[in-house]
Amino acid sequence: MALARIFLFTFVFLVLALALLSSAAEGASRRPPRHGSKPRRHSLKAERSHSKKGPRRPTLKGPRHSGVKSQRSRPGSKTPLPIPAFTNPLPFPSPVFIGLVVDARTYGAIPDGQSNSKASIKFQKVRNGAVRDINLVNSKGFQMTITSCTNFLAERLKITAPADSPRTDGIHLSRSNGVQVLNSFIGTGDDCISIGEGSTDVKVIGITCGPGHGISIGSLGKVPQEQSVKGVYVGHSTLSNTDNSLRIKTFHDSPPLEASGITFEDITMVDVKNPIIIDQHYKSNENQGASFVKISDVHYRNVRGTSVSNVAVSLQCSSAIPCQGIELVDIDLALSPNAPKKFPLSATCSNAKTFSMGKQNPPACR
């Protein structure tokens, strides 16, 4: 009798246990999968295959685009998870742009110079980058801007716009360090290259410029909070039929800043206006007072060629902070046969402390 009771209780216990297990399995099968997860497949074949291949390699992800947000989110939260910062694993610069032709007229633009925001190409906050073999044509504003960049190379560029199109600077630099512009042809309706505020350690070499307004430092001092320009080298270049050539320009009533450590060397000029010019009265009708941009340690060396304007060297510095350390070495400029007025070339200086060496045509002012 006792044995029968034990057998009955055991049978009932097993039936209840099986019922509970069956109910749990059915509930798990009906539960929806968690968002973003995939069902795992358990198989001996899969386990063996994984063990033979070894651990999966990590995937390298590129830098996050500023306008793209992550779609991953924490469970139960709509806030995207942050994407880890990108570390470039390559031993060479990652952003490299090679071999493009950009013609603004393809998109219906007419070079009118109404807004410098309409640049054909903008490089901003690029570190260790390069642009090569690009042809820019007929920009509505600036052709190319390089802003807040570090160690940036631009070479073998061809940049063109009509000579009568204002504000179509070929390349405009600002707040950048270690920029090099090499071996390029630039002809526009404004500055071939303009080196704006906050530019340091800049090299411009092997440029053919013209038409246009030459190669300029500035304009500087137009708005508050501008930064100084230091360490600019412009060399081994040719300027042809430009309205200005080697120019430093600053505004009146400027914030206090500096333009220093600037060298123009081995420059050839062909029928240019204003070959060498420092203009600290740039657009003086717009602002009263003097410029507070301190210009110092500027060198003009081995500058030769022809001028169509009678004043070949014009150093018009600030009455508040005169220019200091302006060096003129081997300046050999002649009046072009195409000059409208056949007067001897001259040099004029105001509030400028200069010193000269070697050939001086026209005679250096003192």
* pLDDT tens digits, one per residue of 154-179: 999 999 999 999 899 999 999 999 99
Q: pLDDT tens for residues 237-281?
A: 999 999 999 999 999 989 999 999 999 999 999 999 999 999 999
- Supply the mean pLDDT for the chain: 80
Task: Output the pLDDT for position 225.
Answer: 92
Q: Is residue 196 part of a domain?
A: yes
Residue 256 gets which letter from DSSP?
S
Q: How confident is the model at residue 148 (pLDDT cuts 50, 70, 90)?
A: very high
Q: pLDDT tens for residues 94-136?
A: 466 666 665 555 444 444 444 444 788 999 999 999 999 999 9
Q: What are phi and psi of 344, to 5 degrees?
A: -60, 150
| C-alpha R_g of the chain | 34
Percent of the chain with pLDDT over 90: 62
Q: Is residue 130 part of a domain?
A: yes
- Mean pLDDT for 46-65 is 37
> 0.75 exceeded by the pTM?
no
Among candidate residues 302, 320, 228, the one with its CA nearest the CA of residue 263:
302
The span from the CA of 232 to the CA of 237, in Å, is 14
Q: Is residue 31 part of a domain?
A: no
Q: Is residue 329 part of a domain?
A: yes
pLDDT at 209 > cutoff 70: yes
Cβ contacts of 144 within 8 Å, gap of 6 or more? 119, 120, 121, 122, 123, 131, 136, 154, 157, 159, 170, 171, 172
* CATH number of the CATH domain containing 169: 2.160.20.10
Task: Output the pLDDT for position 87.
Answer: 35
Domain count, the chain: 1
Helix ranges (H only) for the chain are 2-30, 44-53
The span from the CA of 351 to the CA of 157, in Å, is 38
Identify the top-confidence range among 73-87, 277-291, 332-346.
Answer: 332-346
Query: Torsion angle, CA of 41/46/47/49, rounded to 10 degrees?
Result: -160
Provide the annotated active-site residues: 190, 213
In angstroms, what CA-CA distances link 180 with 63, 203, 213? 24, 5, 20
pLDDT at 88 > cutoff 80: no
Tell me whether residue 22 is exposed, middle or buried, using C-beta atoms within 10 angstroms of its C-beta: 0 to 12, 13 to 18, 19 or more.
Answer: exposed
Q: Is residue 67 part of a domain?
A: no
Show the domain range for 270. Answer: 96-107+118-361
pLDDT at 197 > cutoff 80: yes
Q: Is residue 49 part of a domain?
A: no
Task: Output the pLDDT for position 215.
Answer: 98
Q: Is residue 27 part of a domain?
A: no
Task: Output the pLDDT for position 120.
Answer: 85
Q: Is residue 211 part of a domain?
A: yes
